[in-house]
Amino acid sequence: MADAAPHPASAPANPSHDPTRSATLGRALVHLWPYMWPGDRADLKMRVVWAMLLLLVAKVATLIVPFTFKWAVDALNGAGSAPVQPDNWAMWLILSPLAMTVAYGSVRVLMALLTQWRDGIFAKVAMHAVRRLAYRTFVHMHELSLRFHLERKTGGLTRVLERGRNGIEEMVRLVILQLIPTAVEVGLLTAVLLWQFDWRYVLVTLMTVVVYMAFTYRATQWRIEIRRRMNESDSDANAKAIDSLLNYETVKYFGAELREAKRYDRSMERFEAASVSTYTSLAVLNGGQAVIYTAGLTTIMIMCAIGVRNGTHTVGDFVMVNAMMIQLYQPLNLMGMVYRQIKQAIIDIEKMFGVLTRNPEVKDRAGAQPLHVGHGSVRFEDVRFSYDSNRPILKGVTFDVPAGKTVAIVGPSGAGKSTISRLLFRLYDVSSGRILIDGRDIRDVTQVSLRAAIGMVPQDTVLFNDTIRYNIRYGRWNATDEEVEAAARTAQIDGFIRMSPKGYETEVGERGLKLSGGEKQRVAIARTVLKAPPILVLDEATSALDSHTEHEIQEALEGVSRNRTSLVIAHRLSTIVGADEIIVLDQGRIAERGTHAGLLAADGLYASMWNRQREAQEAREKLALIGDDDDAPNRAPPPVDDPLVAPAAAAE
């Protein structure tokens, strides 16, 4: 069982507080009880009841086993039997030991069958609890803000979900099927010892149990710290492996295979050291438990042997007390194992609980109504926003996107262009000011209806590892095949798809890596066409494409945006010359605004950016004409931005 490693992204406000350190069995059971006793499933409740009844019957059968052993031994030894008549002593001697031996075996078989029956009945309850809680966590992860996901490593987050799911299964199984039955069995066996023997046997037994559990507790606490270190290194190695494989091409470009391997091996080295400590500490724990139990068993056996010699006990009693102590050792040893596993399971699921208890940063207001788009006008009204309170991104931005018109936003990197699209989509909420659609504050409408009204074509299109048809249909899941193909034709990708051997059933690979940048963009456009939103956002949709592909994609985008309210965030200014209005952002404020011709005439920041890009384009065209562009794939492209453009910032 793996333990979940602490992660700062889901840590509480107090950094000195580690939620895994304050995790308790009671707290975990409070979280799990609604899933183990589901209020909406009477059939599962009945399974819980039947499992508990079978548990009690199985424990009664367990108590009978040592008695049948004693009776069989006493019968074989002739002790404690009634006077035997001369005409039936031989039959009694034969039948009584055989009967008791058969009874001994029968009760053990019954005990095993009842236990397995109970486990089989309860399995559906346990796995249903795992499924419901895992589903709830998965849904909640999607409800959390973009900020949460940007702070997390995908590999680490999936490990939290995986370990939490396994931890829930362990917790339900161990508490209901092991911990409670074991506690009942220890109590009943102690009562039987007091009834059949005397208080000294009970005292030795209880002392053995107390010392055994105290040692188990201290050793387990020690092991948990070792286990936590092992899981931290395991999560770190897993996250590094996923990150490296997702960036496979980048690793190849820079010949960094050896560096990545060493980086991964350093994490695995820490994992190796922690794993060795884990197994060593387990050996210490098991060895200590064996010594404590054996000391208690030996003391009990010596006491009974003295009783047999003195005539106060029979040989059957000696065998019985041995069987009872061995029978006690099984649940006692199980309690040690259960305690270790429960503590580890608590650590595993605590991170999942931490995710579940984290409130979404963006959520619907009470009484939020669906957004019904009429004209589709968009207004940003004195919008201010910052990812970090010490670094404001937008500083009082106000502009309108009239219904059916196209407004472009340009500016240096870090000016806040992409932040505007994230705010419109409510991936974040504004710090102050308002964003209105048809005069309604988007914070007053449901997020589902808001996002249904907006179509997004991002700069970096990420596709699901499925077919082209699946990825296009993602825009509107109930669309027919004919509608999917019509959207592909609008996005000018239908011809390419039909040239592929599998057509629309072609697999696109992880994150769409089997497709080129232009093909992925066309798929993104096609699924937006299929969604048919009244408002369209194009977030630097062509900035990563070559000029020829850009021209083709631009034609598709112009067709999609026709008669729609469109907000275009542009890197290449040539793509927005026909916009109804161009807004130039600089350092979070609107520096200029107007049409393309008007901004050029103003000879300001926009004109400077335009001239720089035109010069770069003309230089490339000249190189191509004289034949020097043959080695273009091996040469870095000339700069296309304004020299004042800052390095890309997190805001973009």
Nearest to 65 by CA among 113, 13, 100, 30: 100
Q: Does 239 fall in a domain?
A: yes
Please tell me the pTM assigned to this model: 0.60
Of 508, 532, 556, the position where a domain reaches its end is 532
386 and 528: one domain?
A: no
Evaluate whether residue 13 is within a structural domain.
no
CA distance 278 to 286: 12
Mean of pLDDT over the chain: 77
Could you report the per-residue pLDDT of 236-287, keeping only the tens digit for each?
Answer: 888 888 888 888 878 887 888 888 888 888 888 888 888 888 888 888 888 8
Same domain for 87 and 235, yes or no, is: yes
367: three-class secondary structure by DSSP: coil
The single-letter code of the amino acid at 199 is: W
Element containing residue 394 per DSSP (H, E) = strand 391-401
pLDDT of residue 544: 55
Count of CB atoms situated within 10 Å of the CB of 8: 8
Residues 375, 291 share a domain: no
Total number of domains constituting the chain: 3
Q: 398 vs 41, 440, 537, 553, 619, CA distance in Å?
A: 53, 16, 17, 30, 37
Query: Do 486 and 344 share a structural domain?
Result: no
How does DSSP classify residue 406? E
Higher pLDDT pick, 499 / 229: 499
Under 8 Å between Cβ of 527 and 473 = yes
| Residue 4 covered by a domain | no
Residue with tokens 């992880």: 510
Tell me the per-residue pLDDT of 116-173, one tens digit each, with 9 for 90 and over. Answer: 888 888 888 878 878 887 787 777 777 776 666 666 655 566 677 777 777 777 777 7
Domain co-membership, 194 together with 313: yes
Choose one of 322, 357, 392: the last residue of a domain.
357
Cα angle 17, 18, 19; round to 5 = 110
**200 and 307, same structural domain?**
yes
**Domain match, 253 and 374 both:** no
**Distance (Å, whole) CA 185 – CA 187:** 5
Tens of pLDDT, residues 452-489: 888 888 877 778 888 889 888 988 888 888 998 888 88
Asked if pLDDT for residue 94 goes beyond 70, the answer is: no
The rounded radius of gyration (Å) of the Cα atoms in the chain is: 36
- pLDDT for 378: 92
Q: CATH code at 310?
A: 1.20.1560.10
Say yes or no: 495 and 575 in one domain: no
Q: How far apart are the C-alpha atoms of 49 and 33, rounded to whole Å? A: 14
Is 21 inside any structural domain? no
- Which string of DSSP letters, residue by residue, matches 271-301? HHHHHHHHHHHHHHHHHHHHHHHHHHHHHHH
576 and 410 Cβ atoms separated by less than 8 Å: yes
Whether 20 is in a domain gets the answer no
**Which CATH number covers residue 511?**
3.40.50.300
In 3D, which of 21, 13, 28 has the Cα closest to residue 349?
28
Residue in 356, 19, 352 with CA at minimum distance from that of residue 161? 352
Residue of 346, 350, 46 lying closest to 179 (CA atoms): 346
Q: What is the pLDDT of residues 586-609, one digit of tens each?
A: 888 899 999 999 999 998 888 988
Range of the domain at 482: 462-532
Q: Are residues 284 and 396 in the same domain?
A: no
In the structure, what pLDDT confidence band is assigned to residue 638 with cuts at 50, 70 and 90? very low
Tell me the pLDDT tens digit for each residue of 192-213.
Answer: 888 888 888 888 888 888 898 8
Q: Contact, 522 vs 559, CB < 8 A? A: no
Residue 3, domain member (yes or no): no
- For residues 605 and 638, membership in a common domain is answered with yes
Shared-domain flag, residues 115 and 49: yes
Say if 616 falls within a structural domain.
yes
Strand 581-586 with 406-410, pairing: parallel
Are the C-beta atoms of residues 143 and 360 closer than 8 Å to each other?
yes
351 neighbors 164 (Cβ within 8 angstroms): yes
Percent of the chain whose predicted confidence (pLDDT) is above 90? 5
Q: Is the dihedral of CA 578, 583, 586, 588 positive or negative?
A: negative
Q: Tell me the three state secondary structure of residue 382.
A: strand
- Please report, for residues 160, 168, 451, 467, 475, the alpha-carbon distance to residue 470 in angstroms, rounded to integers and kept in the order given: 28, 33, 20, 5, 9
pLDDT over threshold 80, residue 611: yes
Considering the domain architecture, whether residues 479 and 423 belong to the same structural domain is answered as: no
d(CA 232, CA 219): 20
Last residue of a domain, one of 300, 335, 357: 357
